[in-house]
Amino acid sequence: MAASEEHDSPTEASQPVVEEEETKTFKDLGVTDVLCEACDQLGWTKPTKIQIEAIPLALQGRDIIGLAETGSGKTGAFALPILNALLETPQRLFALVLTPTRELAFQISEQFEALGSSIGVQSAVIVGGIDSMSQSLALAKKPHIIIATPGRLIDHLENTKGFNLRALKYLVMDEADRILNMDFETEVRFLFQNLVQKLQRAALKNPVKCAVSSKYQTVEKLQQYYIFIPSKFKDTYLVYILNELAGNSFMIFCSTCNNTQRTALLLRNLGFTAIPLHGQMSQSKRLGSLNKFKAKARSILLATDVASRGLDIPHVDVVVNFDIPTHSKDYIHRVGRTARAGRSGKAITFVTQYDVELFQRIEHLIGKKLPVFPTQDDEVMMLTERVAEAQRFARMELREHGEKKKRSREDAGDNDDTEGAIGVRNKVAGGKMKKRKGR
């Protein structure tokens, strides 16, 4: 959906909005039969609200600004019209999807390949952290769809001989609010000015705004709580929560890469199957952590906000905001990792004496006061000695890992998923705490 040089304000659709009750299938939206079959095979029994709004307009060739809550099927809303158009006019280098994170790029690629497998669609993922030469070879084959992060795409446009996007027919910016922020401003300007010749600026021709969620909100089936605790006892309360809700799968969000790694080591020292995901890990380790969690080989994923946007992990039962997000909107994306596609879920936010103002901003944004998650403080305090011991061992492992990285850069990241942690956790007697009787 390449834009022209004129800039018009987004307008609502000129035709009546299609009601969800009237539209039962993707075929009703205008999707071709072979893609409808692919939707059935993926278990997409009926279109979501954003798909009902966006797909018919996209099939008309309209430029679209789509707004919908997380987990609402936005990828399908742009993937299906692109594949539909590709079937009508087959062409290499047909569409480009820009995305802010590597993990989201791979997830989008998986959906394109799943939807387009029966029609021979080829896609290439162009992101950092992966060997550039192998990506250059993939681009030389001229795939139909490119899914890329802005920085690495520009690197190939400048350095990969023979690669350009002059023939591009569709441009998608997924999680556009993040792509268009200051982090990617230079890259996006370069792309718009130099790659798609019709684009002199980020302008759309008579765009239609498809909004199925008019304000920042969380889904109805998400149970949200907070715990107000002294900062020094955060680790202890985290262990308490993991024991109280044992049997669930958890995503725990931390504010920094270092705290993510430290907390993962702490939990592993106590016998929990925890695994980290953060920006200082190699791409192979990041994908490895994500795949282990998706496959339920690990029940706890500790992550920075690199995992808060767009990732679809169906079985997340509980989201814990171990470190409260600095930006209130990030709260929406974090807790959106659970209670997806109509399922229920829990979100628990830790609020320390330093976080009160940030927490009040979150409550103001979502328009509700959150209840307190019930805890037994005396039972929490019984865990302090065990947790303190695990904290010491976690700090030791971090130091040893840091020293190892200094000695040999080739070994950097070897213990990113803490699987190779030097056995220190075995020194903590007894492993994971047993559930109390009667629980």
Q: What is the phi-psi region of residue 206: left when phi exceeds 0, alpha when psi lies from -120 to 50, beta otherwise? A: left
d(CA 294, CA 428): 28
d(CA 266, CA 264): 5
Q: Tell me the C-alpha to C-alpha distance, in Å, between residue 109 and each of 7, 14, 97, 210.
A: 30, 32, 9, 23
The amino acid that residue 239 corresponds to is: V
Q: Tell me the C-alpha to C-alpha distance, in Å, between residue 138 and each of 141, 174, 286.
A: 5, 22, 21
DSSP 184: G
Q: Give the per-residue pLDDT at 314.
A: 67
Q: Give the per-residue pLDDT at 376.
A: 92
Q: Give the per-residue pLDDT at 245.
A: 94
d(CA 305, CA 327): 11
The amino acid that residue 272 corresponds to is: F
Q: Give the per-residue pLDDT at 306.
A: 77
Q: Is 170 helix (H, G, I), strand (E, B) or coil?
A: strand
125 - beta bridge partners? Answer: 147
The total number of residues written for the chain in this structure: 439
CATH code for 20-211? 3.40.50.300
pLDDT tens string, the chain, 439 residues long: the values are 443 333 344 555 444 444 444 557 899 999 999 999 999 998 898 898 899 999 999 999 888 888 876 667 889 999 999 999 999 999 999 999 999 888 899 999 999 999 998 899 999 999 988 888 999 999 999 999 999 999 899 999 988 988 988 888 999 998 887 777 646 777 777 777 655 544 444 456 666 767 665 455 566 678 999 999 999 999 999 999 999 999 999 999 999 999 999 999 999 999 999 999 888 888 788 888 888 898 888 999 999 887 766 566 767 899 999 999 988 888 888 888 887 655 678 999 999 999 999 999 999 988 889 999 999 989 999 999 999 999 999 999 888 877 777 665 554 444 444 444 434 444 444 444 544 444 4
326 - beta bridge partners? Answer: none
Pure H helices in 117-248: 132-140, 150-159, 176-179, 185-194, 234-244
20-211 and 222-427 have identical folds: yes
Sheet bearing 145-148, strands edge to edge: 123-126, 145-148, 95-98, 170-173
d(CA 338, CA 67): 19
- Non-local (6+) Cβ contacts of 45 within 8 A are none
What pTM value is reported for the model? 0.60
Q: Judging by beta carbons within 10 Å of its beta carbon (0-12, 13-18, 19+), is residue 342 exposed, middle or buried?
A: exposed
171 - beta bridge partners? Answer: 96
CATH architecture, domain 222-427: 3-Layer(aba) Sandwich (3.40)
Annotated domain spans of the chain:
20-211, 222-427
250 - beta bridge partners? Answer: 300, 318
DSSP 301: E
**Side-chain half-sphere CA neighbours of 243 within 13 A:** 24
Q: Give the per-residue pLDDT at 142.
A: 94
Q: Are 105 and 114 in contact (CB under 8 A)?
A: no
